[in-house]
Each structure stands twice: as structure tokens, then as C-alpha cells.
Structure 1
Amino acid sequence: MKKDLTGQVVVITGAARGVGAMLARKLARRGAKLALVGLEPVELKQVAESCGPDAGTWEANVTDRAAMAEAAGQILARYGRVDVVVANAGIATGGPFLDSDADAFDRVIEVNLLGSVATARAFLPALVASRGYYLQIASLAALTPAPMMAAYCASKSGVEAFAHSLRTEVAHKGVRVGVGYLSWTDTDMVRGADEDDVLRELRSRLPWPTNRTYPLEPAVDRIVAGIGRRSVHVYAQWWLRGMQSVRGYVPSIVATVGKKEMKRFEPRLRATVGTRGKLVGRGGQADAQAAARAGAQTGGDGGPA
């Protein structure tokens, strides 16, 4: 059933750019009030200004439980309720696991998985009170494994499982939980990954339709529609729905085909090993900079304060 979004208070994490920013603007056009959470105050303010006077911004790192709890309290104080939460914040890194930067690899899992857990922990009490909707943004990476993306696949498989578990726990409280799936979509994260020539070529050799980058706006339109229906599954590209029925067969196929591709690209990967391993895209850079600032303030190792 389609739900009217007029006056609904929607919280979006990772709202400074990409999917989060466009989703905020489109939901604002549907009459929603937006609470935008992210790491980049200037970009967040620009998005909020485009969403109208009811939009607000909160600078918080999703991996910082205390900061997320404080943001949730402030959002409740301002709006009086929370109807929808979209756990969208995410980062990525690419390349062979054996060559990966250990801190960057762990950070992907921390932000994507534990950041989503912290988001749910902060906002679920408000969603119980409003009998609201929690949408966890996952990925094609949750449906199929992919070489060179071990951290991202692990984190997105994790958030998918987390959301499925959460759905059953809170259903009797009137809260609906959905999972959103996106393939390669034209965002800063994907463009950042494509700056690596080897990774870009490897992706181009994937079978259709997984080998192309999809425009952002139609993908976000599908997410908006899913929020309006409070859907259990939201597919940003039409063909992702079909992946659900074959996902059990995909790992063995990927292993067979991927072995040949990895052998073929091994010399180039070895020759360019020093060019990859860090977080990709402007969102990844923002997270790294925030971690560095937190480390400088605490004298620690760069982790969240």
C-alpha cells in the first residue's frame, strides 16, 4: 500500500552526496521533512537548502554510537517524531585482499556494517513509537560475491542479514524493515573506483547487465517508490529482483569464471599494486579525513572519537 509522505520525518545517513543527497531532494518534493546526517557540513547544508525550510543537518560519524544517539535525540527534539530512517552511509575500497590496506579494509566493514547497526540502535526506539520504516541500503554485492571487493561484499552481505534479522524482531511492534539493492550506479564512489584502470577493465568484462554503470536518478526514483510502499525489498535496477532466485548458484559461477580472469590480470595487478588499497571516492576521502581529525584530537590511532 502506498503511504503518503507529506509531513513524514525522514532521516538519511550519508546524505551529503550521491544516493543520499538525491533521495533527500526527491523525498522533499513528496512533502517529507528531511533530517540529514553525514560528515561533510558544507555539502549537507547545500542539500538541506535544496530540500526546503523543514530540512536540518547533523554532522555525525555513523560509527560513533554516542554521536548518533545525540543526533537522534536532537532530531526528535526538533521534529517530535521519526517516521523513516534510511541507513545509506557507506564507503568502499577495491583490489586483491592480500594487497589491501588493512586499516582501509577494516574501515569499510566498520562504516557499512557497524555504522548501520549504530544507526538502527539510535533510531529504532523512535520508529517503534511512530510504527515507522527502516530501510537498509545494501547492494548487488550482497546478492553475489565479487573478487577485488571482499570488504564491500562482506559488509553489504552483513547489513542485508542484519536487516532481515531485525525485521522479524520488530514486526510485532509495527515497524517495517526493508533492504535496498543497487547495482553499479553513477555516484562518487563508483566513479572513484573506476579511476583504477585495472579494476575498471575487470568490471567491464562482467556479464551483462552487471557490467554497466546505471544513471542515478532512475535508481533513486525506485528507492523513493519503495519508501512510499514501505517495501521489504527495494530494487534500484529492475533486473536485481531476478538475482534473488539465482543467488545460490552465483558463487560457484563467479569462482569458475573469476579464476581465469584473475590469472589473466595478475601481471597488471602486480605492476600497479601501490596504486590502490585506500578508500575510493569523495565520500571515502571525507571519512578518512574525519578519522584523521578525530585521531589528532584524541592523540589516538585515527579512529572515531
Structure 2
Amino acid sequence: MLASKRRTFWMLFLLIGMLTLCGMYVSLTNGTFDISAADAVRTLLRIHPNADHDLVIFDFRLPRIVLGALVGFGLGIAGAVLQGITRNSLADPGILGIHAAAGAFVVVFMFFTAGTMKAPGWLSVLTMPVFGFLGGLAAIVLLFIFARRAGEFDPQQLILVGIALASGFGAITLYVSLKMDPQNFEMAAVWLAGSVYNANWRQILSILPWLVILIPVIWRRAAVLDLLQLHEVSIKGVGVASGRERQVLLLCCVGLVSACVSVSGSIGFVGLIAPHIARRLVGNSYRYIAPLCGMIGMLMVVLCDFIGKTVFAPAQLPVGIVVSIIGVPYFLFLLFKTRKQ
């Protein structure tokens, strides 16, 4: 049984990985300036490089594809963790206000520094994710204060408080962005819609440390996430410090979401849809759910970004809007299904 589940997981993992690579290939070679597969391979392998191909691939398309893949991977895993911690299948970084809080703090940072900050070396690269992390932390603190009853998260209260936080932080973001000069306001508006349009290697460098450090911490606690689905009495009966473990996992989740929001803006519903698909495919073990959620999130963002930049060409639709077009009906379906149960 265990060997069969492991084999199924690896087959799905490789299948989704191959689909993601296919999406990356199509996105890399298609656009306003089409590049043949042979030219793309020669450019990547540095065989008779062409200046025009170098510019299109290394400066525009490849950073956008890589950043979208990393953001999707991080948001997918963060959504799985949040649903596991709260035992609520409707929990999602966007619905719980974490996206909005991280975005609000980053917009405030952009307002006071015009999107730049003089700092030596790595500090300048990591500044925006740190501000996003502080915003996500503020949302989690408020959720802890207002959405707990008798020391436990109340599922309905959690959604209501999350919606209120998202509205409140969204209002702060709107107010601050309206105080910006026209150029910075346009940049903030596109960014808040959830866009990887202006992706660059510097942004990829800023998000990588968060993913490399936090995802292994989450994966090593996969067994703990399985136990957190039990009743509190049962969790304490097996010797798990549920409060401390939830706090560690929440901090990891906030770190992932904040790092993703700081480079791509608010891309919602990835963390909601990916865990539901993963559970249908591999069951309820977080040892398999977490990495599969990351792969599904990666595939979603890569494909939705390609749709946004090609279907409406020459205009480009931010990836966050494309994901929302898919996510809103799916969320309503899940909400209706939950109420029937």
C-alpha cells in the first residue's frame, strides 16, 4: 500500500514536472518575437549566441518564467500548510489577509523609498521580502487575536476575520498608492494585480533564500502536519507540542507568502486550489501533499502567465487576474460544497 502510494506520487510529480517544462518551453519560444526551438537551445547553451535572442531570452522571458515558477511553488506549499494548520479547506493566504498585509507593507516601503533602498550587498536584495514578512506577521498576529476560541482556531471565524483583514489592509494599500507620484502609482498598480511582467534576476535572487531555507523546514514537519488534523486532545496524547509547532509552521508560511508577494504582488487562489487537487491525487499525507502542491502551483502560474501575455496580445493581462478568473468560481464551488456538508 505504502509502496503503491509512493509510486503514484512520483509518477504524478514527474508528470506535472514535464507539463511545467512544456509550459516553460512554449512561453520561452512564443510571444511578440517568436524564437524557434533550435535558436532557443543554441542561445541557452551559448552556441553561436545572437544579441537579439540573448536580450529576449535572458533579459525578458527566462527571468519571468523562472520567477513565476518559484512563486507558484512557494504559494502552493504555503496554502497546503495553512489548510493543515487551521484544519480548514477554505484557508488560503489571500483569503486570510496575509497577501493583503504583506502587499500593504511592501507598498508603504515603495512609497517611502520609491522602490529602492541604499543598502550594502545582500541587504538591498532582501529588503522588500523582509518588509513583506513583517506585514504577513502582522496579519497572523491579528488572526491569533480575533479568530481563536478557547485556544483553537474557529474555522468560520477565521474566514470572516481574514476577509476583514484583507479589506482593511487593501484600503491602506489603496490610500498609500494614491499618494504616490504617477510613475510609482502605475508600477504599484500593476504589481498589486499580481504580475511577473518586470521580472529580473535580482528578484529571483531575493526569493531563493526564503524558499531554500523554509521549504525543507516545512517538509521535515510533514508528519506533524498529519497529526495536526486530529483533535487537540489526541495531538497532546501523542506528545506533540501543537502550539509551538503551529507557530513554527505559521512563521514558515508567512515567510514564503511574503517573499512571493514582494516580487510578484498578490497572486491569489494558488494556495487554495493546489492543495485540493493534491489531496484528490495522493490522499491526505502531507509528505506527498506538500511537494505536489508546490508543483501544481508552479504549473498554474507558468500556464496562467503564458495565457495572460498571449491571449490578449499586444496587451498583457497580469497573471494574478488570470488565476483569479479560474479561482473565484472554484472557491464558490468549494464554499457551496462545504455548506452542503
TM-score normalised by structure 1 residue count: 0.29
RCO higher in 1 or 2 (8 Å CA, sep ≥ 6)? 2
Higher strand proportion, which one? 1
TM-score under structure 2 normalisation? 0.26
- Structure that is richer in helix per residue: 2
